[in-house]
Structure 1
Amino acid sequence: MDTAMDKNFNYSTLKLGIIGGGQLGKIISQKAKKMGFHVTILDPTFNCPAAQVSDKQIVGGFYDAEKLEQLVQESDVTTFEIEHVDTGILKKLYDHGHQIHPSPYLIELIQNKYAQKKLLAEQGIPVPRYKDIETEEDLSAFGFPVIQKAKREGYDGKGVMLLRSEADLQNRIQTDSFIEEMVDIDKELAILVARNSQDEIKCYPIVEMLFDERVNICDIVMAPARL
C-alpha cells in the first residue's frame, strides 16, 4: 500500500476535527497541519496543548452534545484523541452521513472493558479467565490473586486493582467491575494496526511496554521490542 501523501490532492480544502486536546491530539494536529488540513480542537481546557498548534479551538466538554455537534458540523472528518466521550450524539451524526473515524459505535464498545473482553473471547482470541461481578461473593469464589477492573472510565492504571487475598477486599474498586485471573507475564507487547475506509491495512512495528508497578502505569515504550 502506498502511504505517501497524494501530491495532487489539495488537503487544505479539508477540515479535520479532533475530540481531545492533550499530547496525542497535539501530535495528530501537527501531522495534519503538515499535510495542509485546517484543524479544530474540542477540549474543555482553553489553549490546551493541541490548540496551540491548531487553527481553532472549541472550548467544551467531551459530554457536551452541543459542542460535539458543532465540531462535527464544522469538520469534514472528525476523529478522537480520547474515548471518554458522549457517543449518543456522535452516533446520530454518524448515521446522518458525517465522517467520524473510528465509528462512534466502535468507541462505545471500547468504553466498556468487559464488553471488549467478551467480544474477544467470542471471536476465539485467547483472554485470561474472567467473570462479571454481581455480588461480593463472586470475588471470593473466583480465587486469589485476582485482577479487578472497572468496566468504564479506566485509563493509566485508574480502575485496576490487584487483590492478592481476601484481606485486600477492603481495597476493592467500588464501581461496576469484573475480575480476571492474574497472568504470569514475561513482557507486554503491543502492535498498532490501522485500517482506512478502503479497507487497506497497515501494521506498525511491535513495541515493548515497561510499567511502573507502583501505580500500574506504562512508563517506557521501547521500539523496536526486544523479541
Structure 2
Amino acid sequence: MKPVYGKNFKLGILGGGQLGRMLIQEAASLDIQIHVLDPTHDAPCAELANSFTCGEFRDYDTVMKFGTDKDLITIEIEDVNTQALKDLQAQGVKVCPDPAHLEIIKDKGIQKQFYADHNIATSDFRLIESGTELTADDLPCVLKARTGGYDGKGVAVLRSADDLAKAFDGPCVVEDLVDIEKELSVIIARNEQGETKAFPVVELVFDPVANLVDYLFAPANIADDVAASAEKLAMQVADALEFRGIIAIEMFLTTSGEVLVNEAAPRTHNSGHHSIEGNICSQFEQHLRSVLNLPLGSTETLRPAAMVNLVGAEGYTGPVIYDGFDDLLRMEGVYPHIYGKSTTKPFRKMGHVTILANEVAELPAKVAQVKETIRVISK
C-alpha cells in the first residue's frame, strides 16, 4: 500500500550534509516536509529543513528520541545507530533502507564477506586487526578501515615498503591491488513493491592524492557489453541484499576486462549528482520515490553530463571564497551547486558543478575549463 503523506507526514533524515540538503531541495517540489538530525549546528541541511535537531546520530538515545514521532526514517550517511533504528521499527516507525542492510554495508569487512558469500565478483581480500600488521611481503595492496572511512579517509594504497608508514591502526580490510582501466558506478533504486530502476553507468575519475572523486562522465565511455555487465553486477548486489531504497555500487573495470564490485553506499551518492540536470528523474527524487513506495521515475539520460567536485584547495583553511564564480556562471551548460558550508579546508567537498553537452566527446574539454575557472579558497 502506498503511504499517505502530506503536511502531517513526518520524514526524518539521519545526517544533515550535502546529500540531505539536495534531498530537501527535491522534497520541496513534492511538498514533503523533512526533519533532520545532525551533530553539526550549521550543517548544510540546518537552514533548509522544516525542523533541525542538533544531535549525534550515532547515539542510541538521541536517535530514539528523534525518531519516535516520525512516520519514516531514512539516511544520508550509513554510520548511524542501527540498534535504535531496529527498535524504532519494532515500535511501528518505517525505516528505509533497512538497518540490517546498513549493518552489512557500513562495515567494509562484513560487506566484502557478503560479496564472497553470494558469489559477487570482487577483488580478493582478507581481514586484519590492524594495518600496522602489514609487512613488505603483503604489498602491493589497498588498506581500508572497516568502519568510519569516507571521502578518501580511511583508505591507503600501499605499493612499496616506504608506503607502510601510511598504514593505520584498527580493524581493516586488505584488498589485492587490481590493475584498473576505469572506475565505474551504477545507482539502483527499488521501492517496496519491488519496482526497480538503474541509472546509466557513470565513469569516475579519482584525485590520486585525496582518493576521492575529482570528476565523472555520464554515461561512461565504455563498450555496451561492459555497461551491461556493470548493470547486471549492480543488480546482483541489490538482489542479494533484497534492498529497498537507493544504493550506489562502485566498481572496477580491470585491464583484463573484468568488472568487480569495489564497495556500495546505501544512499544517494556523489556519483549521481549529475542526475539533477542530466536525467529525467534525479537520484534525490528517486530516493524519495523509493522510500515512500511511490512509482519510480525514469532514469533516462537527457543529455551527456559531467560532474566536477568543488573541494577545498590545498593550503586554504577558513571562511570560504569561491574564486572565479562569476566567470563560471558565464559558461554555457554549466550548473553550480554550493553546499552551504561556511568553512573550507583542503579536499573538503564544498559543492559540485554539473556540465551538460550535446556529445560525450565535448565533456573532457569542458571539465578542464571548469577546473581552471573556479577554486575553493579562504579569506
How is 1:132-147 mapped onto 2 (pairs within 5 angstroms)? 132-134=127-129, 139-140=134-135, 143-147=138-142
Root mean square deviation of aligned Cα:
2.0
Q: How far off its partner does 1:224 sit?
A: 1.7
> What is residue 205 of structure 2 aligned with on the other side?
210
> What is residue 68 of structure 1 aligned with on the other side?
63
Distance 1:191 1:58 in 2: 32
Paired amino acid for 1:83: E
How is 1:62-211 mapped onto 2 (pairs within 5 angstroms)? 62-134=57-129, 139-140=134-135, 143-211=138-206
Structure 1 residues 40-49 or 78-87, which shifts more?
Answer: 40-49
Gaps of 5+ in 2: 223-379
Deviation digits for residues 131-187 of structure 1, max 9, x if unmatched? 112577963386321111111111111111111123332321111112111011111
- What is the DSSP-based 3-state SS (H/G/I as helix, E as strand, rest coil) of the residue aligned with 1:13? coil
Cα 1:142–1:202 change in 2 (3 A) is farther
Cα 1:110–1:44 change in 2 (3 A) is same
Paired amino acid for 2:127: D
- What is the DSSP-based 3-state SS (H/G/I as helix, E as strand, rest coil) of the residue aligned with 1:187? strand
How many residue pairs match? The answer is 220
Deviation digits for residues 74-112 of structure 1, max 9, x if unmatched? 211110011111112111112332101001111111110
Deviation digits for residues 18-67 of structure 1, max 9, x if unmatched? 11111100111111121111211111222422122221111111123233
Gaps of 5+ in 1: 1-5
Work out whether 1:52 is the aligned partner of 2:53: no
Paired amino acid for 1:125: I
Distance 1:137 1:220 in 2: 32
Q: Identical aligned pairs, as a percentage? A: 38
Cα 1:136–1:12 change in 2 (3 A) is closer
Q: Contact conserved, 1:44 with 1:59, CA < 8 A, in 2?
A: yes
Deviation digits for residues 191-221 of structure 1, max 9, x if unmatched? 1011111111111121111100011111112
Work out whether 1:13 is the aligned partner of 2:8: yes
Paired amino acid for 1:212: D
Distance 2:137 2:9 in 1: 52
Distance 2:162 2:43 in 1: 43
Paired amino acid for 1:61: E
Distance 1:29 1:135 in 2: 39
Cα 1:135–1:196 change in 2 (3 A) is closer
Distance 1:68 1:146 in 2: 37
